[in-house]
Chain A
Amino acid sequence: DADVTQTPRNRITKTGKRIMLECSQTKGHDRMYWYRQDPGLGLRLIYYSFDVKDINKGEISDGYSVSRQAQAKFSLSLESAIPNQTALYFCATSDTSGSVTDTQYFGPGTRLTVL
């Protein structure tokens, strides 16, 4: 089984709808991240969480919210989807445990299309 899973893998929705993307991990990592990727723009960090009680905004958090329900689960919500939120979304995890290495491991991605 994959260590980092994302659901759904593909989603088509309409402008104004509320959408939730879910991420689960079995790696036992304390840190989780949400990124979006658009052609030519690279990975852009939306939100990150270093533990269950810690939530931090990334560079493009407007229009998004997150929930860290447990160490293993981190959800991303689009409260009112708009077409420019059409992108590939990745969840990632890392386990620093006091070290500086912070290697990130990515889920398979969710392709979201907002019409």
Chain B
Amino acid sequence: QKEVEQNSGPLSVPEGAIASLNCTYSDRGSQSFFWYRQYSGKSPELIMSIYSNGDKEDGRFTAQLNKASQYVSLLIRDSQPSDSATYLCAVNSQGNTPLVFGKGTRLSVIA
């Protein structure tokens, strides 16, 4: 069974610090990787997607993918209290199967 693992947290960081969120996956054939942010009681919203090894930056967010080690991470620079949310990692191995979601990591940014 394909699995996506995340530390449930909470991960607490001070305002202005870098938050580092990690995710590991079991299916070595995985090809697409996504990070979603979910505020309490709200729906998940896509932050970033990454498909190739290395880093992908978008504003304060950087996704990092290492397929050999089967992990993907999300860095949030200059963390703000508004970044406090649960971050979901999702992985897709083939086009004809649904995404597999991790249970999420709860991030708390302390002002």
Contacts and interface: CB of A to CB of B under 8 A. Distances in A.
B85 to A, nearest CB: 14
> Chain B interface: which size bin?
20 to 34
A23 B3 CA distance: 27
Contacts of A96: 95
Interface stretch (B13-21, B55-63, B65-73, B97-105): B97-105
Interface in A10-43: 33, 40-43
A69 interface: no
Contacts, number: 57
Interface in A82-106: 88, 90, 94, 96, 98-106
Nearest to A58: B98
Contact of A102 (B41, B42, B45, B92): B92
Binding site of B, secondary structure by majority: helix, strand, loop or mixed?
A: loop
Instruction: Report which residue of A48, A99, A101, A111 has the largest number of chain B beta carbons within 10 angstroms of its beta carbon.
Output: A101
B49 interface: yes
A101 B49 contact: yes
Contacts of A105: 46
A106 B45 contact: yes
